[in-house]
Structure 1
Amino acid sequence: MTIRSSGSDFYCPIPARPQRSDAGEIEARSMRWMESFGACEPERVRHLGASGINTLFIGQFPEAREDYAQLFADFTTYTFLWDDVFEDRLHTRPRARTIADLLGRIGVLERPRLAPEPTDPWRRAWTDITRRARDLLPPDRYATWEPIWLRAYLGDCWEVFLLDGDHHPSADEYLTLRRHTFGLATFTGVLDLAHQRPLTDAERQDPAVQAVAETAEVIVVIDNDLYSAPREALIDKSGGASITSVLANHYGCDQTEALARSVALRNRIMTLHMKLREQLGRGASQAAAAYARDVGQLIRVVLDFRLLNRYTAPYIEGRGAVPVASVVLPAAFSETGADTSPPPLPSFDWWWDALDE
């Protein structure tokens, strides 16, 4: 499956930052940490490590404290590998077991120090990283992680049921649930702490601050859907949804038109994101302005994931690394914004209300 988009129509004015010097060391520690649990084939872990996913990801946050950077790297390693295994087994795994596993992880979040030591290697890794997060984060911030992951895992259950093929979500429903399943709020919720520029409670409740984070989370979802399409086709996730399949079903159009509509949608949201970022840069505190820039960097770094072997030659259970036909997105992007009016996404209309103008 080959899907292409030209740089001239893809809006992303956020440049990549210089890499932090210890990113490779953090990457190596993260892969050793994950491999120590024996949760999946060592070859799968090494395949992900060879891509340099955390060197790219953590490298874009050179000012982040090392303990936060390591936590971010380990969360990334764990969630990407668990997602790979979860996706590969969706067709054969009993749904009741899948839901029980997800609820078990929520139980660990609720009581990380009281949870019994699990025997399942995936659960052991999850318990370890959850306990470290509980020790690192202030209590009020850790308290936000349980609902973030509860929504993520409920969204995973929603994705499982979509495999029946008897429900076709709207773009609004799809992006609402998919935003949760991607789990980027795990990072957007603590980036200010990682950079030692904590937002006040009032700043965290500011609609513009919340909207700049949520727009980034949804842009990342759309971008990931676009560049992971060849990988998803290889896995043959029949019945699963993506932003292009959702729009194709809604408009009754082919894949090419659906791709164009997807890019146009993310460009409108990206244009709003940049306006919110400029607004916070003008009238907010230095901490809020820096937070908006750091959140925007997540868009760029996840967009650059398209170059990793997870998408160009994904690891398939029993087959190893399998090259796919193409990488969807281009090497250079437009710096020209798009229509600033709200698209037909009623759950997100409030983002535009957060603009001063």
Structure 2
Amino acid sequence: MPPVYAADSAPSRIGWELPPFYCPFNASLIHPKAEELEARAVEWIDRFGLYPDPTERAWGLATRGADFTSRIIPYGDVEPMVLFAEWNYWAFALDDWQDAQDAGPARASAAAVADEGIRLFRSLEAPGSALLPPGPFTDALADLVQRTRALLTPYQLRRFGEGVRDWVLGATWQTANTERDVMPSLNDFCAMRMSVNGTRFTLTWCETANGAELPPDVLYAEPVQALTDAAGFVVSCDNDLFSYNKEDHQEPWEQNLVNVLVRERGCTPREAVRHAVALRDQVLALVVRLGDKLARGANAPLRRYVEMLGEWIAGDVAYHALAPRYASPRNRNPLPVADASYDLVWADAPSSARTAPPPVPSIAWWWAAERA
């Protein structure tokens, strides 16, 4: 069924039908043990009492964190996927708490976000530091940390810690902009969007579950980093499009690609969607070309890494289209609607045929990596 919203709710600035999505990867993949992953993750949520009442629990489960995991990692090992699904539910709960602070009179400050973030990743690096207040949220985090440290190798754990730091950095930057009533420029936004979206947080688990771990001299080579960042940007753009209607009640306006383009181009949100999709498609076309270039003559781990990024992009689109969190948003519904979804139309080609880099200096190096 199409997206659901109350009849007396505020009209959408961009409408409820998204433009056709270009996705040259298979968006129908899902892990064969998706139901098991969901059941185990929900049991974990309830065991720790992560949500304080049935309404919050309903909205928490509407994030469908296990479905997200099962779609972006359709071939992964189950145990790291279960743990990642639980991290997703925990992170979604944190994100929703921050959204509530941003929308209310006691808006969270950048200093508060930075302080909590430091306590979070220090708790990951040094368990038992007693840096967080007691309660279900902290108890659930302690369990995640203990099991994460037992499962990941030292290198994987270091990568995960870096991902958490990067995520906190992005969240702090975004909150500082809100605090100052600043809508970032397109150049600044593109430089930071992957951090705000937790790209490196997610990719540690994709790499671990897929067995797609690369040695540092390959992973951190400029072409591979360009491909990784570009894929993360596409996923972030898609999140901005699907999330727009659930966040359009916030004042000041939410920092997402659509609203950044409204400011940059002096256009309406509906017009900005077209510009956002064109930029998103232009970057995705680069991901395809650069991925094909890297895969030619590559060894099996690098080829698997390139495939993994395509699965991440495709699975993320499919997840967002089906999750009640987005298709029956909380700012327009008292409870999530299980069958709500975005009825996507798939495009056969990118909406932009441009192969040169866009006039955005902070990401132009992705195209330079393609030419190298």
Bucket of the pairwise TM-score, normalised by the shorter protein? 0.7 to 0.9
1:205 is aligned to 2:220: yes
Higher mean C-alpha deviation, range 305-314 or range 160-169: 160-169
Which of 300, 311, 320 is the aligned partner of 1:286? 300
Give the count of matched residue pairs.
351
What's 1:269 paired with? 283
The answer on 1:100 being equivalent to 2:115 is: yes
Task: Give the fraction of aligned pairs with identical amino acids, expressed as a percent.
Answer: 26
CA distance 1:260–1:122, change in 2 (3 Å): same
CA distance 1:322–1:134, change in 2 (3 Å)? closer
Shift of the 23–121 alpha-carbon distance from structure 1 to 2, 3 Å rule, reads same
**Alpha-carbon offset, residue 129 of structure 1:** 1.3
Q: Could you tell me how far apart the structure 2 residues matched to 1:308 and 1:248 are? A: 26
Contact 1:148–1:186 (8 Å) recurs in 2: yes
Indicate the larger mover: 139-148 or 247-256: 139-148
1:169 Cα deviation from its structure 2 partner: 0.8
Taking the aligned partners of 1:261 and 1:81, their CA distance within structure 2 comes to 31
Q: Deviations over 1:291-345 (max 9, x none)?
A: 111112111122121321001113469x73267xx97773323334731111122
1:258 counterpart = 2:272: yes
Find the counterpart in structure 2 of residue 138 from structure 1.
153
Query: In the alignment, is residue 6 of structure 1 matched against residue 19 of structure 2?
Result: yes
CA gap of 1:180–1:339, structure 2 versus 1, over 3 A, is same
1:352 Cα deviation from its structure 2 partner: 1.2
Q: Which one is further off, 256-265 or 105-114?
A: 105-114
Structure 1 residue identity aligned to 2:282: R
SS at match of 2:214: coil
Residue pairs, 1:257-336, within 5 angstroms: 257-304=271-318, 305-315=320-330, 320-321=334-335, 330-336=344-350
1:32 equivalent among 43, 68, 71: 43
The DSSP-based 3-state class of the residue aligned with 2:32 is coil
Letter in 1 for 2:91: T
- The aligned counterpart of 1:23 is 34
Deviation per residue, 1:51-107 (Å, 9 max, x gap): 644235314424311111112211111112221222022233353544432222122
Q: Quick check: 264-273 or 161-170, which moved more?
A: 161-170
Correspondence 1:175 to 2:190: yes
- C-alpha change, 1:338 and 1:133, in structure 2 (3 Å) is farther
1:29 alignment partner, SS class? helix
Q: Secondary structure at the match of 1:344?
A: coil
- Whether contact under 8 Å (2:19, 2:345) holds in the other structure is no
Q: Which residue of 2 aligns with 1:69?
A: 81
Uncovered stretches (5+) of structure 2, i.e. residues with no partner: 1-11
3-state SS, counterpart of residue 355 of structure 1:
helix
Q: Aligned equivalents of 2:335 and 2:210: distance in 1? A: 36
1:191 aligns with 2:202: no
Asked if structure 2 preserves the Cα contact closer than 8 Å seen for 1:69 and 1:194, the reply is yes
The offset of 1:49, in angstroms, is 2.9
TM-score by length of 2: 0.85
Write the distance in 2 (CA, Å) between the matches of 1:179 and 1:329: 26
Deviation at 1:283, TM superposition (A): 2.4
Q: Deviations over 1:146-179 (max 9, x none)?
A: 3322232232223223334632311121132221
Contact map agreement 2:73 2:312 (CA 8 A) in 1: no
Aligned mates of 1:232, 1:292 — CA distance in 2: 32
Q: What secondary structure, in the 3-state scheme, does the structure 2 residue paired with 1:320 have?
A: coil
CA distance in 2, matches of 1:115, 1:143: 21
Q: Is the 8 A contact 1:19 1:56 kept in 2?
A: no
**How far is 1:188 from its partner?**
1.9
Shift of 1:260: 1.0
Change in CA separation of 1:286 and 1:179 when aligned onto 2, cut-off 3 Å: same
Match of 2:92 in 1: 80
Say whether the 8 Å CA contact 1:225–1:242 is kept in structure 2.
yes
Matches for 1:120-139 after TM superposition, within 5 Å: 120-139=135-154
Query: Is contact 1:64-1:195 (8 Å) kept?
Result: yes
Report Cα offsets for 1:252-300 as digits up to 9, x if no partner.
1122221111111101100000111111221211211111111121111
Aligned-pair distance for 1:124? 2.2
Identify if the C-alpha distance between structure 1 residues 173 and 120 changes in structure 2 by more than 3 Å, giving closer, same or farther. farther
Offset of residue 221 of structure 1: 0.9
Q: State the shift of 1:356 in Å.
A: 4.6
* Shift in alpha-carbon separation, 1:37–1:167, aligned structure 2, 3 A: same
Aligned-pair CA distance for 1:185: 1.3
Matched residue SS, 2:347 = coil
In 2: Cα distance, 1:268 partner to 1:306 partner: 21
RMSD: 2.6
**DSSP 3-state at the match of 1:342:** coil
Alignment match of 2:366 (pick from 343, 347, 351): 351
